[in-house]
Amino acid sequence: MTELRSADFAAALDAADPLSALRAEFHLPRHGDGEQAYFVGNSLGLQPRGARAHVEEVLDQWSRIAVEGHFRGPAQWMTYHELVAQPLASVVGAEPAEVVAMNSLTANLHLLMVSFYRPTAERPAILIEAGAFPSDRHAVTSQIRFHGFDPDIDLIEVEPDLPGGTLSMAAIAGAIQRHGPRLALVLWPGVQYRTGQAFDLAEIARLGHAAGAVVGFDLAHAVGNLPLHLHDANADFAVWCHYKYLNSGPGAVAGAFVHARHAHTDRPRFAGWWGHEKATRFRMGPEFVPTPGAEGWQLSNPPILGLAPLRASLDLFARTGMAALRARSERLTGYLEALVCNHLDDALEIVTPGDPAQRGCQLSLRVRAGRDAGRALFDHLAADGVLGDWREPDVIRISPAPLYNSHADVLRFACSALAWREGHQPGAAR
Ligand SMILES: Cc1ncc(COP(=O)(O)O)c(C=O)c1O
């Protein structure tokens, strides 16, 4: 067990893994003379070194040829969002026409609910997980109200039934079955932001559809973290952001998926000119004719400067592939888990499921001694150059991102936490 804590052991694991070289593709935040051990890719992924060149390319075009930038060169702005469709589709397991980069996550959730949440008096309800990310909850409650229904009755929140606040598939299936006849929409996360639990999305889509509901996913914490198979999972729609594991910068342009079976849907939608059929968009006619597929939900010409970093990030995903990244991710998170279980178990409870199939890279660690001790540990880690994030009342989230975190980073976390524990709980060290 002491081997786990040896710097040589961690260094050997890094040396044996060819994907360790990807770290050099990122700007690592500094801590003193060295690098931070940065575990907050679940909040804001690091900047790929290639991002600047893509942004500068846009700035150069703008300065040199201004409006002509829309029509000139391989990265012309008129079709710029199409440059990301294929690599993005590979990351989420979709057909290129099923995905689009546009807007922000919550805006996309609303836009897709306009089309896919069509409540009736018999079927007004939306089912989500209890403790959902506040923006998702605000979005669904406001949609329920917008349609004249009452969230107190028509928002169904599935309560955790497992220790640590996670959910069994039986609880999800039971809730879908129980409320089935009233369900208009099942909206489920790929990875729950607080617990780090990952879900069997294909099974949830199957259960939701069997109950007669539409099924959508929020993949904020899943995209770029887990291999996804969105087309085969068969959800009706999905939304996600690109600033976490897709490393595309603060407030980056977000993503959306609409299953191919809805490519030519006549469901209502909120429309804008960029969603209009491409061949006739510039005839500037008064009638809206949607572009088939996910692009048909676009409203506006996209923010090109905001899209540029996404190209750099997707280049790295295309070079590596989600399967290899996931294998590395399982090794890194498994190492973190082993260190916590073997050396920090009396201080930290792992809330995230132990089964790798039920989690991504993040482990949510509940500080057993409570909030004040937890804040003290969090501050100690940060002062040591180990950055996780804090979730009230007592959870530290640590997310080793396989693109840039190393086994040495994970060991730094464990050693720093151990030093804190030994200082604060004399006699507890082992
Ligand atoms: C699960 C989840 N949903 C929604 C959001 C809100 O995203 P945005 O501000 O991009 O709309 C976030 C942001 O972190 C999130 O984690």
311 within 8 A of 77, measured Cβ to Cβ: no
CB-CB neighbours of 62 under 10 Å: 15
CA of 287 to the centre of ligand 1 (A): 33
Ligand 1 site, residue 90, Cβ cutoff 6 A: no
How far apart, in whole angstroms, are the C-alpha atoms of residue 270 and residue 74? 31
The pLDDT assigned to 429 comes to 40
129 lines ligand 1 (CB under 6 A): no
> What pLDDT score was predicted for residue 428?
45
What is the pTM (predicted TM-score) of this model?
A: 0.96
Q: Which of 351, 336, 425, 416 is CA-nearest to residue 378?
A: 416
Tokens of 34: 């060295």
The pair of structure tokens assigned to 203 is 């099974």
DSSP alpha helices (H): ranges in 157-200?
A: 169-179
Q: In what order do the strands lie in the sheet with 363-367?
A: 348-350, 363-367, 395-398, 389-391
Pocket of ligand 1 contains residue 218 by CB under 6 Å? yes
Residue 424's pLDDT is: 75
Q: Please enumerate in sequence order all residues whose Cβ is within 8 A of that of 256, keeping only pairs 6 or more positions apart, or say none.
A: 99, 100, 102, 103, 108, 111, 112, 237, 238, 239, 240, 294, 297
* Contact in structure between 334 and 354 (CB atoms under 8 Å): no
Contact 128, 157 (CB under 8 A): yes
Q: What is the pLDDT of residue 164?
A: 86
Work out which ligand 1 atom sits closest to the CA atom of 241.
Answer: 10
What pLDDT does 281 receive? 95
| Token pair belonging to 94 | 């979709």
- Among 133, 231, 146, 144, smallest CA distance to 188 is for 133
Q: What is the pLDDT of residue 425?
A: 58
Where the chain has pLDDT below 70, the residues are 1, 425-430
* Distance (Å) from CA 47 to ligand 1 centroid: 19
Locate tokens 């836009």: which residue? Answer: 111
Q: 251 C-alpha to center of ligand 1: Å?
A: 10
